[in-house]
Homo-oligomer: A and B are copies of this chain.
Amino acid sequence: MNIALAQLNYHIGNFEYNTKKIIENIEQAKAKGADLVVFAELAVCGYPARDFLEFDEFIELCEKAAAEIATKCHGIACIIGLPVKNDILAGKDLYNAAYFIEDGRIKNIVKKALLPTYDVFDEYRYFEPASHFECIRFKGQKIALTICEDLWNINNNPLYVSSPMDELIRQKPDLMINIAASPFSYCHDDERVVVLSDNAKKYKLPLLYVNQIGAQTEIIFDGGSMVFDKKGKLVDEMPYFKEELKIYELEDGHFKGHEPIVHEAAPDIEQIYEALVLGIKDYFDKSGFSKAVLGLSGGIDSAIVCALACRALGPENVMAVLMPSKYSSDHSIDDAIDLVKNIGCKHEIIPIAAAADAFDQMMAPAFQGLPFNLTEENIQARSRGIILMAMSNKFGYILLNTSNKSECAVGYGTLYGDMCGAIGVIGDVYKIQVYQLANYINKDGIVIPENSIVKPPSAELRPGQKDSDSLPDYDILDKILFQYIELKQSSAAIIAQGYDEALVKRILKMVNNAEFKRYQTPPILRVSPKAFGMGRRMPIVGKYLS
């Protein structure tokens, strides 16, 4: 049996676009001799469609698209993910399902049983879990088809009380297929290989796994579709962050021409780089925009974002705005200009003194001689926000936010100032990883100016200010943050690792007290297992470690 895996980039709710792409791939697969072509989870509508799923009309558009796709399935069968209505009166209105289409007709509807409802996932918000399991019969073979999470209940502390493959295996299937929408994080690909391999091994069946690629606002799918033999050995791996259609010839449980290979993960920082470039590109492509603007301070964060944007959109589509204040160091402009020259993007220099002075005068009667403090620092940061949004409004540029994860975590940023933007490019990248990204970008020659990398980080909002005045060194800060945010450790557990007690308590309190700021930040491209945004939902007026 020749099985084609179609690893594609879908656009949520863009039925015309998705349907056209799916049909093209059906035709290509057929032309290449495939008996069956397999698309990803919820391919018809894109993932995650969120509350679009609550609109009957949206579900009808899914059905209509699937009906059109079915008409193309002659001489080739197809497996494709879509939401389907629950026709039983009780329970949620929908299933997260897949059609098996043969001879132009829907032969099977397979439903997902294990519905991820944690981190960025909200599937039980929409879907009823499957309670009935049946293999697909095709060309004399029985296919155990499961959907993404259905195979993920295999570890020692399972999240679900049942396992769909334990039901399906009783029907003695000949192979397993799993269709997925499995988002990227820099730790996820190794885990994925292990879980899939464990399934193939446990059930003694060959396994074909198809993921999707592409960014859907903050969530980035990395592809890496895979094929395992019945011993659980990986025999092929499709590319990461790229579309591909590939055909596998399965004969007597063996994938012809494929021998066991070793999964070699790219270095974390390379994966993060590729994910962020795709994240920017898809945000713009799918929103119908092409041009980006950002504030370039001469520091490392904005330099990295500028480099990523230029790679994603082309330097001709990137406008860097330099906005020196009276507290900016001499080097700031030079370093920013160096980057612009290295990278070839457009730039403007717009000093902010006139606005800062105007606000000083306007506020003087109300402020009654109170001394310069955080207020005036914020006025400068917010004046820059106004300039960037003005460039955006006047010319149709989309503003990129340049805050890193360490800053977002402790609230070291000005709401409506440097926290502005349509998308947070490095909001899930700790400062220490920002330096790693700089070195990665510079690996074939200097792009990020050396001085932006080596100088002490500073917001430059008052004379001689340095981040280290109010924050610990980033190598300590980031480690404590990782323990708290990614690993959800208590302060006691973190202190027990040898960190200073007062410091740990201060940092955790800063994180929790900054919740109100993070609520209003742009969506953040997710590259870690725990990003700020939809995947981390904290009370604002709650009192805990605060």
Chain A residues close to B by CB (< 8 Å): 11-14, 17, 46, 48-52, 54-58, 89-92, 117-118, 122, 124-125, 128, 156-161, 215-217, 282-283, 286-287, 348, 350-352, 354-355, 357-359, 361-363, 365-367, 370, 373-375, 378-379, 382-383, 385-387, 389-391, 393-394, 415-416, 420, 422, 488, 490-493, 516, 519-523, 534, 536-544, 546
Contact = CB atoms under 8 A, between A and B. Distances in A.
Contacts of A488: 54-56
Given A90-B161, A359-B387, A378-B389, A539 B122 contact: no
Given A89-B158, A217-B541, A542-B13, A359 B49 contact: no
15 contacts: A11-B542, A12-B542, A49-B539, A89-B156, A89-B157, A117-B117, A122-B125, A122-B537, A282-B541, A287-B541, A351-B362, A358-B358, A382-B382, A383-B386, A386-B386
Nearest to A14: B543
A511 B278 CA distance: 27
B390 A359 contact: yes
Contacts of A420: 415-416
Most chain B CB within a 10 A radius of its CB, from A55, A367, A385, A540: A540
Given A12-B542, A362-B355, A539-B52, A382 B386 contact: yes
A456 to B, nearest CB: 25
B363 A490 contact: no
Copies in the complex: 2
Contacts of A158: 89-91
A13 B117 contact: no
Nearest to A382: B386
B362 A354 contact: yes
A52 B540 CA distance: 11
A11 B539 CA distance: 11
Nearest to A219: B539
